[in-house]
Amino acid sequence: MTELEPLLQRIEQLTPHFGRAQDDLVALATRGRNRDYKGVLQNARLVLEMLLRSLVSTELKQTPGKAMLDELITKFRQQANAGIIPTHILAHMGTVQAWGNLSSHDHAAGLHDDTGVKVDLQEAATSLNSLVAILTWYKESHGQETALAPATEAPVKVTPSASTVRRVPSARPADGRRLALAGGAALVAVAAGLGVLSYRPGAGPSSTAPSLREKVDALYAVNAEPAPPADCQEKDPQGLVMLLELGSKLSDGVPDKDRVREATAALPALRARGPQWSPEGWFHVARASLLAGQPDAEAMNKALLCANFAAAENLAGRMGVAHQNLKEAVERLTRAAELDARFWKPRYNLGLIYLQVLRVDKAVLWLQRAAESAPEIADIHFRLGEAYQARAKETETAGRPQEAVADHELARAAFCRAKALGHPDAAALCTAP
């Protein structure tokens, strides 16, 4: 018998009070006894989502629609809804959410390696301790309810491949130190190799133009960016060859020390093709100019002639930061985030901007969304921990100590997730509760 058994027994005692969530609670107990700890965390997350959807319906008198778990939790953190869920229960919900997110993705790059995130007994016990507290509170507060609100289909998430993430300098907005800015003031979120499975089309071995297209698409995948819409893509084989040859010099995989040099070397050749470029080609001109520290607004505008080009909108947001135009940056990054639910970079970049200007509620919201999109990125969890810390300081100053305690616990959980994912600065901040 493991240390989970008392928790599983308590969950079984509570199960009859939870309507159609009973099936997931029974499955959770079975998985726990079979040492399927990933399954335990996933079932716990699903049960929490059901409870929150029910509360949105019964307490807020709203239809939850397709709201994701982070949005549901955020609803109850808003001042207008304060008190519906106690702050210590919200902290427990954050713990269940966080471990559920982490366990829902494979993280490994291949079928025969062993690099995926491991979920062990301790992680399961942490999540179940929080789940028991949530279920107990819910039963006592809403014990007369006989059924939960109907659930809608959850968003489909595609598992990205494992990657090595370039660590940007640590941000400490609460005490005025510098955020993760690079290339002058240009905001950069990079992940070498991330997202290949998310965006890569089927590749073929032939040397025809379609295979060139597939190879160019693979460059976007390496940068964890969606390819442009079909009507904006480069069609000329000569242009595709140039994008292949020079696009690799603009990749997130280029070492930091070589980034400016490589982009500066690629920029003249990209510009020389000039009027022959499609919006996709102009996107690469704009990208090279930004990385070289010479942001080219004209090239960026030509890339943005392509509607619904999420990677271009994200790049325009970074260029807005380079020009010290945060309003433009926020508008562009928000547009990029809306265009593709898998695209984590604009969400992460928005979180960093809001940390910089100390809009900590918005920073938390966007970093939570980034973590939903890419739970395997250590930097996202580290920044989210810093955002929770900043919000805790605000609530302490405002005389709301219970909310501050909850945010400190959420920060600790985020730092611990960053530590588990290999962030070198997170260990000292992942302290015992």
Kindly state whether residues 87 and 194 are assigned to the same domain: no
Identify the CA nearest to 255 among candidates 376, 389, 152, 164.
164
Kindly state whether residues 101 and 186 are assigned to the same domain: no
**Which CATH number belongs to the domain containing residue 113 in this structure?**
1.20.120
In-domain check, residue 262: yes
% of the chain surpassing 90 pLDDT = 50
Kindly state whether residues 382 and 242 are assigned to the same domain: yes
Kindly state whether residues 137 and 187 are assigned to the same domain: no
**Which CATH number belongs to the domain containing residue 303 in this structure?**
1.25.40.10
Instruction: Note the pLDDT of residue 118.
Output: 67
**Rounded Cα gap, residues 326 and 141, in angstroms:** 44
**Rounded Cα gap, residues 235 and 231, in angstroms:** 9
80 against 426, higher pLDDT: 426
Per-residue confidence at 161, pLDDT binned at 50, 70, 90? Answer: very low
- Which tokens is 318 given? 């970074």
Q: How many CA atoms lie within 13 A of 410 on its CB side?
A: 31
* Contacts of 161 by beta carbon, 8 Å cutoff, 6+ apart: 108, 109, 193, 194, 195, 196, 197
Instruction: Note the pLDDT of residue 174.
Output: 36
Kindly state whether residues 17 and 134 are assigned to the same domain: yes
Q: Any bridge partners for residue 194, and if so which?
A: 223
**Rounded Cα gap, residues 104 and 156, in angstroms:** 11
> Interior CA angle at 275 toward 272 and 278, to 5°?
105
pLDDT in tens, 232-260: 999 999 899 999 889 888 988 888 889 99
Number of domains composing the chain: 2
**Rounded Cα gap, residues 275 and 391, in angstroms:** 49
Instruction: Note the pLDDT of residue 104.
Output: 64
Identify the CA nearest to 180 among candidates 367, 379, 333.
379
In-domain check, residue 164: no
In-domain check, residue 372: yes
In-domain check, residue 424: no
Domain containing residue 285: 173-392
In-domain check, residue 161: no
In-domain check, residue 125: yes
* Contacts of 409 by beta carbon, 8 Å cutoff, 6+ apart: 91, 94, 95, 433
Per-residue confidence at 274, pLDDT binned at 50, 70, 90? Answer: confident
Instruction: Note the pLDDT of residue 261.
Output: 93
Kindly state whether residues 311 and 351 are assigned to the same domain: yes
Instruction: Note the pLDDT of residue 143.
Output: 61
State the average pLDDT over residues 259-284.
94
Per-residue confidence at 400, pLDDT binned at 50, 70, 90? Answer: very high
Kindly state whether residues 348 and 211 are assigned to the same domain: yes
Q: Tell me: pLDDT of 359 over 70.
A: yes
Kindly state whether residues 215 and 328 are assigned to the same domain: yes
Which is it for the CA torsion 188, 193, 196, 202, positive or negative?
Answer: positive
State the average pLDDT over residues 59-82.
84
Burial of residue 257 (number of CB atoms within 10 Å: 0-12, 13-18, 19+): exposed
Kindly state whether residues 178 and 100 are assigned to the same domain: no
Kindly state whether residues 130 and 242 are assigned to the same domain: no
Q: Tell me: pLDDT of 94 over 60.
A: yes
For residues 364 and 347, the answer to whether their CB atoms sit within 8 Å is: no
In-domain check, residue 89: yes
Instruction: Note the pLDDT of residue 287.
Output: 97
State the average pLDDT over residues 179-191.
34
In-domain check, residue 190: yes
Kindly state whether residues 297 and 240 are assigned to the same domain: yes
Kindly state whether residues 81 and 202 are assigned to the same domain: no
The answer, as to whether pTM is greater than 0.85, is no
Torsion of CA 422, 381, 128, 145, to 10 degrees: -160
Lowest-pLDDT range of 44-53, 137-146, 184-193 = 184-193
pLDDT in tens, 406-417: 999 999 999 999
